[in-house]
Amino acid sequence: MKTTFLLICLGFAWPACAQTPDGARIALPERVWIASKMYSSVQTYFGHWQAVPDLDLDAVYKGYLRQISETDDRMAFDLASKEFLAHLRNGHSHFDDGWFYSNYGQPLGFFLRSLGGKWVVTETRIADLSIGDAVQTIDGKAIGEFVTEKQKYVAASSDSARRKSLFYSPFLFPERFTLTLDSGKTVRIDRRSQKLMPLPARTLEGRMIQSDIGYFRIPSFGNPKNEERAVEFVRENTRAKCLIFDVRGNGGGSSPERLIRALMDRPYRDWMQSSSLSIGLFGAYRQITNVFSMEQFDERTRGYHDAFSEYFDRPQFVTPGVLKAPEKPLYTGRIIVLADNNCGSACEDFVMPLKVSGRATVVGQATDGSSGQPYIFKFGNGMSFVVSSKRMYFPDGSQFEGVGIAPHVEVEPTIEDLRGGRDPALEKARELAGRGNRQN
């Protein structure tokens, strides 16, 4: 898998209302061209119709056309386009515009997560906001209500992923707003002028946390050097009793086949996958009774209809997972993988065979549950979209999309863990690493 991810003057006091950015208008012919290209591409390439069985794409498209025909405002167009593809409920199918991010994508400076019934700060670059702070409201509106309102613009394969991804979409927030914390403290956010602390380090880290237990953190598979260094770490520590691979927060990149081969000591199956398939004549026979009464036709024609009566409007071409044999693994000792719901796409390519084959124990939280191989189209004006053409299943055919890979041992940090800087998942992994059995 490869990973490829009218607010103006309507409720938000954005200075852009008074000062229009360059390129803020988009002509009607261009709007229609972009919309029609996305609509036709969804019909042709989208591979996840099972996830949206009740979606009336034609009705959604007609509503989208009404929205974009009423104004030439580029921001309004971008939001409508995001909302259109978000109806597909797929994390690898979305619309983007570099102009939108340049003008309205100033960072929030913080990240919230629903934890223990509260919206809690899990990352912050703002001096007045601390990890573990619980946020009640944004400009007086309950934060949960705000999140629900904005989710319609966010492309994701599950509700939890949609809530999480909202905080990676700063343009959906006002330029200036006030957070009210549980403590009663208020924090003023000004995305254009605020001074942010440096980003937390998200680098590779390889070390021995005990004499015979190795730890390697891989923040991304987007850089091939990350995989190369991970393979080197495995080669350097073949005598270790246990190796812990931390892929929490790893959003994907390119599938780490070399690293998988270095660790797999047994046969395993790859993902089962499917893609949309359409045969025009079969579809025509299938819908003939929508136009004519069957009494009008002879027995032969009625036979054709009966033969294709079970032909679905959107059939899938399904291929089973390939059985792969181990190829001289570098390491045959115990493996533990730390995962969370930010592990997606190529990161899940790494976790799945290790878990399903019984090669590793997975600790933490379920992964994101979104696959890709998207069709990509760029319009040449900063706008682009992707449509996921491939739907993945676990090797046994069970659901993966929107579900993710469940851990063997579930560990979720508490608010107290966050405030105290504790890492309970790593602590659990170290405990398991000291045991002799391979599973929990």
pLDDT(438) > 50: no
Give, in degrees to the nearest 5, the angle at Cα 316 between 313 and 320: 165
Would you state the structure tokens that stand for residue 361, as one six-digit string? 């124990």
Report the DSSP beta bridge partners of residue 245.
216, 337
Q: What angle do CA 224, 229, 235 make, to 5 degrees?
A: 130
d(CA 246, CA 259) in angstroms, rounded, equals 13
Domain spans, the chain: 1-96+371-403, 110-190, 205-269+321-368+405-433, 279-313
Assigned fold of 1-96+371-403? Transcription Regulator spoIIAA (3.30.750)
For domain 110-190, the CATH class is: mainly beta
What mean pLDDT comes out for the span 11-17? 35
205-269+321-368+405-433 maps to which CATH number? Answer: 3.90.226.10
**5 and 86 Cβ atoms separated by less than 8 Å:** no
- Chain segment 338-366, per-residue pLDDT in tens: 999 999 999 999 999 999 999 999 999 99
Tell me the pLDDT band of 10, cut-offs 50, 70 and 90: very low
pLDDT-based confidence at residue 372 (cuts at 50, 70, 90): confident
- Quote the mean pLDDT of the chain: 90
Tokens for 88, please give them.
Answer: 């597909």
Non-local CB neighbours of 406 within 8 Å, separated by 6+ positions? 362, 366
The average pLDDT across 206-233 equals: 96
Task: Over range 259-277, report the average pLDDT.
Answer: 95
